[in-house]
A = this chain, B = another copy of it.
Amino acid sequence: MTRNVTIRDIARAAGVSISTVSRALNGQVPVAPDKRQRVLDATRRLGYEPNAAAQGLVRGRTMTVGVLTQDIASPFYSEVSRGIDAGLAGSGYQPIFVNGHWEIQDEAAAITALTRRQVDAVIVLGGRLDARQLRDLHARVPLVVVGRQVPGLDDACLSVDNVQGAFLATTHLLQLGHRRIAHVAGIPSQRDAVDRLEGYRLALAEAGVPFDPALVFEGNFNEASGIQAVEHWLGRAAHFSAVFAANDQMAYGVGLGLYRRGMRVPEDVSLVGFDDLPASQFTLPPLTTVHHPAREMGELAARHLLARLNDPGAPAELPQLPITLSVRESVRFARSP
């Protein structure tokens, strides 16, 4: 393409030095009004845009915050990203998103890409990067980890009490009289999954309902594993009146699996999810689910980083966001046996 117009072109066109152009544009230092005007005119006329890379090089700040997400099309992380976008709006900082694909190597490569781009801060959404790598990163740049609790990085982690959320969901079912509650768990290597299973067990224990391993199916957080769970249970004639899925996507799958077998939600089986994705308001029936404040977490992470960027001495403390249950229509009283 044609060579970009640079500050020198503007200087020449306005008949001033490049430092005057710089000053007129950045507006910290006083500049004679007429010269300022000439610079502004030339800028507009030639369509000048300062080169961000050059600015970053000399200023030592690039005004970007890197966001490592796992899958740009994952509904849950998209919500967090949207929050980040909103939290950064108007701050002058720009998010740059990279994908880790839930693969340690991709994640590491993505972090490297961010580092090379000299991002001023980093937000990591989930992922498998181990604690050491994250601590190393934290040592080089302000960091917030969303959706994970990393040992030794507590004040940089923003997550929700998953045990509590699952407890809430299960208790809701229990209070409605359900006793045979099945659970579609998530990937056991992910802490969230483990915690949610834990919350489920805790709630059962508290209600004096025995835990039955046959009612737990290990899924992978995708819709398909919800279907598999139903097939699995029905194939072995397991008996249950409710299902708690470790995320909404698996709950959708459960709904479909049940439908395929001619069973209705909530008439035959009650169903509760986890995450409260926007889509869950529109499923058939609308899904009762644990509300995960994804959007808010993103926004909070962004604002927190901005605060630290503007005042490195600012106290770190990230609050833990409350988790609630969104009660909709996928749950009913258990029929008396």
The chain A residues found within 8 Å of chain B, CB to CB, are 1-2, 4, 49-54, 56-57, 62, 71-73, 75, 78-79, 81-82, 85, 94, 96-99, 112-113, 115-118, 139-141, 223, 252-253, 255-256, 259, 278-279, 281-286
Contacts and interface: CB of A to CB of B under 8 A. Distances in A.
B2 A118 contact: no
Contacts of A116: 49-52
A46 B302 CA distance: 30
B52 A223 contact: no
B279 A252 contact: yes
A259 B282 contact: no
Given A255-B284, A282-B253, A99 B85 contact: yes
Contacts of A141: 1
A57 B49 contact: no
How many copies the complex holds: the figure is 2
8 contacts: A1-B140, A52-B113, A57-B57, A71-B82, A72-B82, A73-B278, A252-B283, A255-B284
A75 B255 CA distance: 21
A50 to B, nearest CB: 6
A73 B77 CA distance: 8
Most B-side CB within 10 Å, residue of A51, A81, A112, A117: A117
B81 A73 contact: yes
Nearest to A78: B73
Given A223-B282, A252-B279, A284-B284, 14 more contacts: A1-B139, A1-B141, A4-B118, A52-B53, A52-B117, A53-B118, A71-B82, A72-B85, A73-B81, A73-B278, A252-B282, A252-B283, A279-B279, A283-B284
A96 B64 CA distance: 11
A140 B286 contact: no
Contacts of A253: 282
Contacts of A278: 73
Nearest to A112: B49
A73 B74 CA distance: 9
A62 B53 contact: yes
Contacts of A285: 259
**Which A-B residue pairs are the 5 nearest by beta carbons?**
A73-B78, A53-B53, A52-B116, A284-B284, A223-B282
Nearest to A50: B116
